[in-house]
A and B are shown apart, each in its own frame.
Chain A
């Protein structure tokens, strides 16, 4: 991996706690900081709170205590701040969540038009650029149901990028895909990382972690067990729990 210069801290998370109404505690005193252009991969067993962490970052879940600051904007009671943060943070879901009643182009242009107040032409032009970037410009007028899983996920990435987010989050973006389609989505994500996008990636693709990530975070039961470079995880993980988990997924 070539040397890359990381910037200042864009995401600051301090001691956040999240307990669901059913009593499940998903995040405990969770703290981390992420720099501009940094690619952080989060791994951990099912139910360890990975998704919950991402969802807290853009306000899809509310935290019970602690603080989250993204690009200088605190995620607090102020509703305006939350909308502001959502504009700056893009999210890609395991299940794509494309809008089935809209064409690929309309999926991508919707938010730029409504939220960023772009003109139709401007938004469409940008959408086509993004579709070329994810290698499916010919699908602009298709509906999501007419696409393969890999194509749908690439559209979902393009849709998130259309808002020009400063941080991109991926929640197991390739887990729902057939093996032969995983590569095409990972390639898009790698390109994005090379362009200097700040990324938080929940994934079990250790190849991706090794190739692209600056830092790997292993979490369990709502807190960080161990973190370090991908190399560190492959060569000398410290904690027993980490070793056990890695032996299961590798």
Chain B
């Protein structure tokens, strides 16, 4: 009997150890320790924590009316920028990779030139160039100029990831597909990309997270994203620490949502064994 119960506890413990609950607990403990260290540090600075001030910049509840605060608008904007940026940069990345692998010399040169140009200049300069030089010429909005700059930048890196994933697929897969009479388009669509995507997903996820973080740079052309709104609130209230913590936490939320989506995709593309 005693042996049985101890086995039971052991089982429960093992299950707990492997469960998500354990990860969350560990995470909370780490956060708590960091918080404590910070609290001690800022105490010595004489910083006056005013967390109670923060919620109203996230949402307000006045006269029975619910409304979002500036930080939420910033979050929504960052979310929009990231969503558009992801779709655009992945498309640009895939197309560029395919061009670089194509038979056409011209296509390869163009794709190569684009990648080299983007990778060897700072993102900030690209954003300014697009916003101050190209946007007036083509009548681009602030938002779109920002998204486009970001997508072109991340797309160049994504294209390298796509390319590496595609060339990592064994040559025999191409030959088998071609010898069955499938054309290049169908071979990419049905044979190469579905296999490459599993190898591509992890590095592509890092790239997507970079995109989320780099999106903060569009605040330099006065797009009211999360960073811009955060700065505005701080300028008004001097709640430097509280607001930056909140903003950082919100960015974290976006990346967590992204990881959940990627997790789902990874399960979908898993190869059976």
Contact residues of A with B, CB < 8 Å? 55, 58-60, 83, 86-87, 89-91, 93, 95, 97-101, 103, 110-111, 114-115, 143, 145-146, 156, 159-160, 163
Contact = CB atoms under 8 A, between A and B. Distances in A.
A156 B173 CA distance: 12
B181 A146 contact: no
Given A95-B172, A110-B190, A114-B186, A146 B273 contact: yes
A103 B273 CA distance: 11
Contacts of B194: 101
Contacts of B269: 101
A205 to B, nearest CB: 22
B180 A110 contact: yes
Contacts of B178: 58-60, 86
Nearest to A91: B179
Interface string B153-180: 0000000000000000010110111111
B48 interface: no
Please report whether the interface of chain B is mostly helix, strand, loop or mixed according to DSSP: helix
Contacts of B182: 110-111, 114-115
A100 B271 contact: yes
A115 B181 contact: yes
A33 to B, nearest CB: 22
Given A100-B271, A156-B176, 15 more contacts: A58-B178, A58-B179, A60-B175, A86-B180, A87-B181, A91-B179, A97-B170, A99-B176, A99-B195, A101-B271, A111-B182, A114-B186, A143-B273, A145-B271, A146-B273
A90 B179 CA distance: 7
A160 B172 contact: no
B67 interface: no
Contacts of B176: 91, 93, 97-99, 156
Contact of A111 (B180, B195, B273): B180
Interface string B185-221: 0100011001100000000000000000000000000
Which 9 A-B residue pairs are closest in the complex by CB-CB distance?
A97-B176, A111-B180, A97-B172, A91-B179, A87-B181, A143-B272, A115-B181, A86-B181, A145-B273
